[in-house]
Amino acid sequence: MSRTPLSIAEVEAACDALDALPDAELATNAAARAVELLAMGEDVVAAWIAARGAEPTNAEVEGFRLLALHRQGAKGVPSFNACRETCRELVYHHNLVAGDPVAPESAQRLRMATMITRHLALFIGGKLVVEGLGDFCCSSRPIRQADVAAPEAMEN
Amino acid sequence: MEKDLKKVAYYPGCALEGTGYAYNKSTKAVAKELGLGLVELKNWNCCGAMEVKNIDPKIQTYLSARNLSIAEDMGFDTVMAPCNGCYHNLKKAEYDLTHDDKSVEVNTRLSNKAGHKTYEAGKVETIHALDWLKRAVGDEEISRRVKKSLKGIKVANYYGCMYTRPRHIFPEKDQGPGSESSSNPHFMDDILAAAGAENVSFPLKTACCGGAHTLSDSDTSTKLVLNILTAAEAAGADVIATECPTCHTGLEMHQVRAEKEFGKKTNVKILQFTQLLGLALGLSSRKVGAHENFSDARDFIKEKGLG
């Protein structure tokens, strides 16, 4: 069954709604919720890629589209790597729940997955609102891009 | 063979003289208590921080390289930088000077112009306060030196984003057992566990705190921090331990702003890992600068019998 991708704002709202649920309700149909959270993570990263004029990939890395999307999104924008582990944590928490959906820890795992997804939405949403935001951070851009200005001006 | 790190050059960086004052104070107090020596670089300069390198990365490389040159001049082969930004920049300069001829050329030209020795890659190793305590002291010795165990205190260790990224400027990480992991850092977890703390599983330990967004988009920063604080609480943490002055200040300030602007109150305490370690080593709350933090954790410290 096809699923309509959510906007970043919708993902944020969905995460807030999930986070507001009591544990018992959150853990109801845990496996499906884990799948939906992973899909929301994909929506967020795909939105970033689309906003930069590229077609979000449907490929998978290590069996997950989210990781392939992250790799695609980070190309040429190394500061995007600041969400590398966030993506991986989301996959990890998805797997924890998918592996044993009725485990007593399911609600806690889903709550964490919700917060991870929300972080992804906030981080990428922030970068979309203000172009270049975060480019100060990981700072590896100059390491990977050779055409940066030389400081001759400082020598005059 | 591991070199002797009992006495190293110390590069506090600008933040530790301002908002990170308590981190500076607690780092020095812990060093003294553990019999370690920190010799501050003479006439050090800004590492290039976040701003310089985005405008002209080669100037940032030079600025950081000058600090490494000072360390070498002072006779040290190791410099310890407790700030993630400084640590990252010094490591990046080392990488640039190893891999990029243009960076070497610019560094040489500017060093000559400034009239000091040109730093050459490979002469000085940059380490973080976490590396330093792990390598110079080690978990077992820390455990042995604990006077007031952190037992019963649940800690979410927050490393921020610059301690491990980009991975290739940290060649010593991900080298198997005993080395730090860039995807799941654990040195702070290890040190505080050695001091008796119970570390909680914290999936946002390397997530962005919104540091670079603080001025341009405060609401994004506040929401990012609020999410980190909320996740720490949901993970069962009493306190978030930090190892970066910028992250620390961001967490403290946006905890207040989240309540003021969004009506979202969180109660998790925020302390530098050196403050928690210092308390465990028997130092007073004042000696580790708990009263200098923006977010007041003194009642918590007293309640836990640590102050």
A88 interaction partners in chain B (CB closer than 8 Å): 183
pLDDT class of A19 with cuts at 50, 70, 90: very high
Q: What is residue B79's three-state secondary structure?
A: strand
Share of chain B above pLDDT 70, in %: 98
Q: How far is B164 from A33, CA to CA, in rounded Å?
A: 31
Mean residue pLDDT of chain A comes to 86
Predicted local confidence at residue B50, as pLDDT: 73
Half-sphere exposure of A53 (CA within 13 A, CB side): 0
Q: Do B208 and A150 touch (CB under 8 A)?
A: no
Instruction: Nearest by CB to A122, from B161, B220, B235: name it.
Output: B220
Residues in chain B with CB shorter than 8 Å from the CB of A116 are: 203-204, 231
**B255-307: pLDDT as tens digits:** 999 999 999 999 999 999 999 999 999 999 999 999 999 999 999 999 999 98
Contact A88 B206 (CB under 8 A): no
Residue extents of the structural domains in chain A: 8-155
Residue A130 pLDDT exceeds 80: no
Cross-chain residue pair A155–B161, CB shorter than 8 Å: no
Tell me whether residues A151 and B110 touch, CB distance under 8 A. Answer: yes
- Tell me the residue length of chain A: 156
SS3 state at B297: coil
Instruction: Give me the interface pTM, i.e. the ipTM.
Output: 0.90
Mutate to test the interface with B, among A139, A152, A156 (most CBs of B within 10 A): A139
Residue B40: strand, helix, or coil: strand
Tell me, rounded to whole angstroms, the distance of Cα A113 from its chain centroid. 11
Q: Which of A115, A126, A130 sits opposite B204 (nearest CB)?
A: A115
Domains of chain B: 7-127 (1.20.1050.140), 147-303 (3.40.50.11810)
CA dihedral A111, A115, A121, A124 (to 10 degrees): -140
Residue B220 to residue B40: CA distance in whole angstroms: 36
Distance CA B133, CA B142 (A): 9
Pairwise CA distance, residues B235 & B228, whole Å: 10
A50: tokens are 């689309």
Mean pLDDT lowest for which of A36-50, A92-106, A125-139, A142-156? Answer: A142-156
pLDDT in tens, B198-245: 999 999 999 988 877 776 678 888 999 999 999 999 999 999 999 999
Q: What DSSP string describes chain A? A: ---PPPPHHHHHHHHHHHHTS-HHHHTTTHHHHHHHHHHHHHHHHHHHHHHTT-PPP---BTTBHHHHHHHHHHTT-GGGGGGHHHHHHHHHHHHHHHH-TTSTTHHHHHHHHHHHHHHHHHHHHHHHHSTTTTTTSS--HHHH-S-PPPTHHHH-
Of all residues in chain B, the one with the smallest CA distance to A23 is: B234
Q: How confident is the model at residue A155 (pLDDT cuts 50, 70, 90)?
A: very low
- β-bridge mates for residue B158, sequence order: B242
Comparing CA positions, the residue from A38, A27, A42 lying closest to residue A94 is A38
For residue A149, pLDDT beyond 60 = no
Torsion over CA: B298, B304, B305, B306 (sign): negative
pLDDT tens-digit readout, B169-179: 999 999 999 99
- Residue B226 one-letter amino acid: L
Contact B220 A112 (CB under 8 A): no
